């Protein structure tokens, strides 16, 4: 069975995905997920940050197994193509039987935003109102939708992009406003979702007690945040191992991860956030997140098929 992106869009909702991701992050930190580090190969077709990569991400959890193959080619943006593309294969853990193969681009988009939504719900005050988004691409759009689901009180939305027209366009579509980067960075919650190979967020712009959700700059030599932004924060990761291996924001700044988000979710009393301290949540994406999303898609597809028969 092949499930296209069009069908994935019909079958996967943030209402179901966010709680599934929350439990998956708890299970990962508790050691209930078999997930080796992803294997990444550079394509070598271009120099520097324009060079693309190809990754393989296997995982076993619950009653299913899966593997995602994903590519990231930053120069695709100049060609009118998606920068990320992916395919996910879902298999039965009991028999090894292939259950479904599905397009993984939208799943990658949605699970990334869903992870940030879980982090926001866990780490931010209930009454936060201002959100600054650095970037105006696919992830910016996804984060606007997912974050508002867990914090509908986010009414002051500020969007910055290196392309002002993109920021204006997204703002007009999202009941938000385009802003200078300093104003966007001064919000209570700040999302960095750019493809920049060098820092765009400077620590001096951030307010005390801000929550930064850093989702771009995947790669040990890439970063969106400068040293002041990272070193002045209490750092939370989706996975210590993944972030310390693949996140230039952490690797190049020498910062220390204080806790995994799954640890905080399971045992909040053991990992108290210092009052008034700025918090940085860094994510690089994990196979378990793709697996639980793919499982939801497959289950909903099965239900629809039975309903029609």
pLDDT by residue (tens digit) across 291-301? 999 999 999 99
Give the pLDDT confidence score for residue 219 in this predicted structure.
Answer: 78
From CA 14, how far away is CA 3, in angstroms rounded?
18
Whether this prediction's pTM lies above 0.75 is answered by yes
CA angle 196, 131, 260 (to 5 degrees): 70
Name the CATH superfamily for 2-107+288-304: ornithine cyclodeaminase, domain 1 (3.30.1780.10)
Q: Return the domain boundaries, the chain.
A: 2-107+288-304, 124-285
Contacting residues for 144 by C-beta, under 8 A, at least 6 apart:
133, 157, 170, 174, 176
β-bridge partners, 69: 56, 87
Give the pLDDT confidence score for residue 49 in this predicted structure.
Answer: 66
Give the pLDDT confidence score for residue 92 in this predicted structure.
Answer: 98
Residue 44 pLDDT greater than 90, yes or no: no
Give tens-digit pLDDT for 180-233. 999 999 999 999 999 787 899 999 999 999 999 999 877 788 899 999 999 999
124-285 CATH: 3.40.50.720
Give the pLDDT confidence score for residue 218 in this predicted structure.
Answer: 79
Give tens-digit pLDDT for 55-84. 999 999 999 999 999 998 988 888 888 888
Q: How far is CA 183 from the centre of its chain?
A: 23
From CA 282, how far away is CA 89, in angstroms rounded?
27
């Amino acid at each position: 069975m092949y499930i296209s992106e069009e069908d994935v869009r019909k079958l996967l909702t943030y209402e179901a995905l966010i709680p599934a991701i929350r439990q998956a992050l708890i299970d990962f930190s508790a050691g209930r997920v078999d997930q080796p580090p992803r294997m990444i190969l550079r394509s070598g077709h271009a120099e520097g940050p324009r060079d693309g990569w190809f990754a393989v991400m296997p995982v076993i959890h619950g009653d299913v197994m899966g593997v995602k193959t994903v590519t990231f080619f930053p120069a695709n943006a100049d060609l009118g193509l998606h920068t990320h593309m992916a395919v996910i294969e879902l298999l039965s853990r009991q028999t090894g039987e292939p259950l479904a193969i599905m397009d993984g681009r939208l799943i990658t988009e949605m699970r990334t935003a869903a992870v940030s939504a879980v982090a926001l719900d866990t780490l931010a005050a209930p009454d936060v109102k201002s959100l600054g988004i650095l970037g105006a691409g696919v992830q910016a759009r996804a984060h606007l939708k997912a974050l508002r689901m867990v914090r509908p009180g986010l009414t002051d939305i500020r969007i910055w992009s290196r392309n002002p027209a993109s920021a204006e366009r997204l703002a007009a579509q999202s009941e938000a406003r385009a802003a200078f980067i300093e104003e966007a960075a001064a919000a209570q919650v700040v999302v960095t979702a750019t493809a920049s190979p060098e820092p765009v967020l400077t620590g001096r712009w951030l307010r005390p007690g801000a929550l930064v959700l850093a989702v771009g700059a995947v790669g040990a030599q890439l970063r969106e945040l400068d040293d002041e932004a990272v070193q002045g924060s209490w750092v939370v990761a989706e996975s210590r191992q993944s972030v310390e291996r693949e996140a230039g924001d952490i690797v190049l700044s020498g910062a220390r991860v204080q806790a995994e988000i799954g640890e905080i979710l399971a045992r909040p009393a053991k990992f108290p956030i210092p009052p008034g301290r700025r918090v940085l949540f860094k994510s690089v994406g994990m196979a378990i997140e793709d697996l639980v999303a793919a499982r939801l898609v497959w289950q909903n597809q099965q239900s629809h098929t039975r309903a029609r028969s």
